[in-house]
Amino acid sequence: MQNKQRITVLINIFVCLFVVIILRLAYIQIVKHKFYLQKSQDQRTQIIKLASQRGDILDCQGNLLATSIDTYSVYEYKKGWVERKLSKEEAEKLVAEKPKERSIIRERKRVYPNDGLLAQTLGFVGIDNQGLSGLELSFDKYLHGKEGQVITEGDPRGRELYGAVRELEAGEDGMDLTLTIDENIQYVAERELARQVKESQAISGTCIVMDAKNGEILALASLPGFDPNNYGQANPKLWHPRFLDPYEPGSTFKLITVAAGLAAEVITPDSKLKKLESITVGGKVIKNSHAMNFPGSSVTVSKVLEQSLNTGVAQIGLMLGQERFYNYLKKFGLGEKTNFGLWGESAGVVRHWQQWYKPDIVMMTFGQSLSVTPLQLMQAVSAFANQGVMIEPILVKKIESQDKHFVKSLSQKYGRQAVPAKIADEMKTLMRNVVLYGSGRRAAIKGFAVGGKTGTAQKAKPHGGGYLEGHYIASFIGFAPLNNPRIIALVIVDDPRGSIWGESVCGPVFSRVVEYCLRYLNAVPDML
Amino acid sequence: MRQPKTDYIFLFSIFALITIGTIMVFSASPTMGLKVGDTYFFIKRHLFYLLLGLCGLYFALRCDLELLRKWAFAIYAFSMILLLLLFVPGVGRQVLGATRWINLGLISFQPSELIKFSMIVILARLLSDLGEGIVDFLHGLLPILVLIGLTAIIVILQPDLGTAIAIVLISVILLFVAGIRLAHLGFLLGSGLLAVIALSLTSPYRLRRLTAFLDPWKDPQGSGFQIIQSLLAVGSGGWHGLGLGASRQKYFYLPQQFTDFIFAILGEELGFIGGVVVIILFIIFIVRGLKIALSQHNHFCSLLATGIVSWLALQTLMNIMVVIGLLPTTGIPLPFISYGGTSTIVNLFAVGILINISLWPGKESKAKAK
């Protein structure tokens, strides 16, 4: 029967088709097995990042300035973060609203226990604990550590599979940063500065305290500041550490001019200079800020500093000449970064002498037509406290891994010999005279001999082209005790109202802060 | 006289396939079950459908095949009415862009599963009545072709191209076995192929499926997604598979992981060895099933058995070929293995008919023996 034959044909066709299927299965499952297995693994492999523990920032006594705490963030499926870094109760409340879609993820949050203290120096971190400003940014490489990760298997929605194979790659915690800052000195410096800034209705103020022996910065106050715990609420302009920027130092710079004059032997401490009401250089008329209410037709070098006579230092500048004066400026490290630790430091502006305009040679003698950073000026003046050797300022003392296996100590580097030791001692006496008899009287400290210099600089217009009328930067730089200097401090108040003079605005701040430091450090009084 | 006796190997193959199917549904469905809130949701339903199917099987065993032959037109008409009901708004339930289910409250019923069976019954009746007359194109073959064409068109309109193709192929097999002239057969196959191509080109979703099948990696996140995920599942199985229950692709990477694509999960968990065992069981079922047709002298019963076995064989081939990337996605379940209400019940009912045929001596043959 024909039908039966055809059924047999049908059987054969079916069996043949199944053989094709078996061959195809063999190809997929045996020949291409590794390829498909890999593809399948790749698509379900999920990497869960494990945040590393960010290193702490400590002061020189080991007090916490920045640390991290556990917080709880709420994540919603497909929508992402709902809110991050909440307390446990707050997070649980948010999850309870949509328990199926939301889950809690533990995260570390950066906190600054002292709120605004040292804010601009410390800086802050972003929501993912990445350094954004200040030390948090400059030392992010060390503080951040290395993220760990869990490699696991997930479904297309990202949820982990049941019985997923997990693989853990441990991360590395960040390192701790120990600063040279002393929390207590920082606090006093900020307190005294804040009082003065408020009293003077000034725009801002800076007060830097440095160990005169080793360059360790003990306080870096810059006001107004902000609270890095809530940096988003502050004006972003306040985030920036002001002391990184250059300013025209004004009369404090006369110290450098006199030291250069002494070192170049164009003057001696006993030299007599002409007592001039004004001096004209390159068509520019230079005058003194005060009337000279003392007798005689000449002035001593000491008197020039005590009375802060522009016409006096101008004569020294003219005696030095452009090239020689410029070389001394370079010797004092001006126009070069100090590299004390924070990113974004300015090098200041000291133009090459061949580019100077005619009056520049005298303008610079009293700190105009050039700009320096506060730390450059302190570094330069530190030479007078240390037999002519400049001390480079440092801010970070030690970088240390959590397990103490990695330690990097950063000690101070002795800078260049700016002037001979003899000149440094002569400068000490001259600075002493300023505080004893001259414009620096209000910087005096009971029991200690103080040397220093005031400054009252006209504010340069922001985009060049002369100076603002009625706006000044008052400052005072000095060190103590005189015979064995322990502390160098610089106080700057920007645009004070009422009294504008460095002596009355900055002298008292210097006096109170440095007195606190000396007593805090158990310095031996040298003027009983 | 033919001595009817029970074919235990045949019965074993069916039993083994149903058992493997149940285990695979058990393994592959909990991920989806969790989504509806009950891990065992689909397993419970599957067992319930099996129970209904066994009732169907018993009923089919007991039914009078002569009666089935007599009522062939009525059964066909009933199936057609159900099929047409899908076009009445409110009756049909739409799933994945196609209306294929009649909502019966607790369960949904898929008339296209029934129409395949009814089509076999009516063709067996018509062709057995026609006998040698099939060689006459105009008076024998043409009316039957019109019937096949009409049925296929209605199924296509659902739209359910896969079932339509299955119906046409089953019909062609029955025509072939019933003694169609090979010249006519060649003409039919040629024009059928052209029709499939035309249909594929007129519907963008069919065309997308077709191109995805040819090069799934062109659009791995879109039209090629399902076939790629299926290949990843099968391929990662290797020789012996990841182990029962250890599938990774069932975690929502592979859609329809316990219905149309259950063979992919089987390949992933049980490997090449497991896959080949299942295929051998299917071959046993088909060969032994067609042996029933061979040994049955009653022309209607022989054609009915051939139709039923060919139907299940075609579904098996089409389903597995889709899973391993030899055919574009058609939406056909794997007999005895896939989860699915209507198909499980109808398959078991059809198996009941097959067994019934194998045990039935056959009236016509008696008559001819005289």
Subunit contact B324:A28, Cβ cutoff 8 A: yes
- Note whether B34 contacts A: Cβ–Cβ < 8 A: no
DSSP 8-class letter at A284: E
Whether B2 maps to a domain, the answer reads: no
Whether B3 maps to a domain, the answer reads: no
Across chain B, where does the E strand assignment appear? 92-95, 98-103, 108-109
* Cα A293 to Cα B15: distance, rounded to the nearest angstrom: 123
- Note whether A77 contacts B: Cβ–Cβ < 8 A: no
- Note whether A407 contacts B: Cβ–Cβ < 8 A: no
- Note whether B171 contacts A: Cβ–Cβ < 8 A: no
DSSP-derived 3-state class of residue A465: coil
Whether a cis peptide bond, with omega within 30° of 0, leads into A224 is: yes
Nearest to B104 by CA among B332, B345, B351, B348: B345
Give burial (CB, 10 Å; 0-12/13-18/19+) of B172. middle
Q: Is the pLDDT of residue B211 over 80?
A: no
- pLDDT for B359 equals 87
- Selected for mutation to probe chain A from B169, B171, B177, B365 (highest A CB count within 10 Å) is B177
- Of A3, A10, A30, nearest to B302 by CB-CB distance is A3
Subunit contact A155:B271, Cβ cutoff 8 A: no
Category of B178 on φ-ψ map: left (φ > 0), alpha (ψ -120 to 50) or beta? alpha
Q: A45 vs chain B: nearest CA distance in angstroms?
A: 11
Ordered per-residue pLDDT tens for chain A, 528 residues: 457 889 999 999 999 999 999 999 999 999 999 999 999 999 888 887 777 789 999 999 999 999 999 888 888 877 778 888 888 888 888 888 888 778 888 888 899 999 999 999 999 999 888 899 999 999 999 998 888 888 888 888 777 787 778 888 888 889 999 999 999 999 999 999 999 999 999 999 999 999 999 999 999 999 899 999 999 999 999 999 999 999 999 999 999 999 999 999 999 998 999 999 999 998 899 999 888 888 888 999 999 999 999 999 999 999 999 999 999 999 999 999 998 989 999 999 999 999 999 999 999 999 999 999 999 999 999 999 999 999 999 999 999 988 877 788 877 666 789 999 999 999 999 999 999 999 889 999 999 999 999 999 988 888 777 888 889 999 999 999 998 999 999 999 999 998 888 889 999 999 999 999 999 999 999 886
Residue A458 β-bridge partners: A472
For residue B286, what are the domain limits? Answer: 8-369
Please determine, for the modelled complex, whether the ipTM score is greater than 0.90.
yes
Nearest to A210 by CA among A333, A390, A32, A55: A390
Chain B residues closer than 8 Å to A30 by CB: 238-239, 272
CB A172 within 8 A of CB A406: no
Whether B110 maps to a domain, the answer reads: yes
- Note whether B244 contacts A: Cβ–Cβ < 8 A: no
Looking at the domain that runs over A183-520, which CATH code has it been given?
3.40.710.10
Subunit contact B176:A20, Cβ cutoff 8 A: no
Chain A residues closer than 8 Å to B275 by CB: 25, 29
* Cα A40 to Cα B116: distance, rounded to the nearest angstrom: 37
- pLDDT for B75 equals 92
Q: What are phi and psi of A151, to 5 degrees?
A: -100, 120
- Of B177, B299, B324, nearest to A24 by CB-CB distance is B324
Subunit contact A11:B275, Cβ cutoff 8 A: no
- Note whether B238 contacts A: Cβ–Cβ < 8 A: yes
- pLDDT for B368 equals 40
Across B23-86, where does the E strand assignment appear? none
User: What is the count of structural domains for chain B?
Assistant: 1
List chain A domain ranges: 183-520
Stated pTM of the model: 0.67
DSSP-derived 3-state class of residue B299: helix
* Cα A351 to Cα A369: distance, rounded to the nearest angstrom: 9
pLDDT digit string, tens, across residues B73-116? 999 999 999 888 887 776 666 665 566 666 665 566 788 888 99
- Of A8, A15, A37, nearest to B235 by CB-CB distance is A37
Subunit contact B236:A33, Cβ cutoff 8 A: yes
Angle at B208 (CA atoms; ends B203, B213), nearest 5 degrees = 130
- Selected for mutation to probe chain B from A5, A8, A14, A153 (highest B CB count within 10 Å) is A14
Q: B236 vs chain A: nearest CA distance in angstroms?
A: 4
DSSP 8-class letter at A178: E
- Note whether B307 contacts A: Cβ–Cβ < 8 A: no
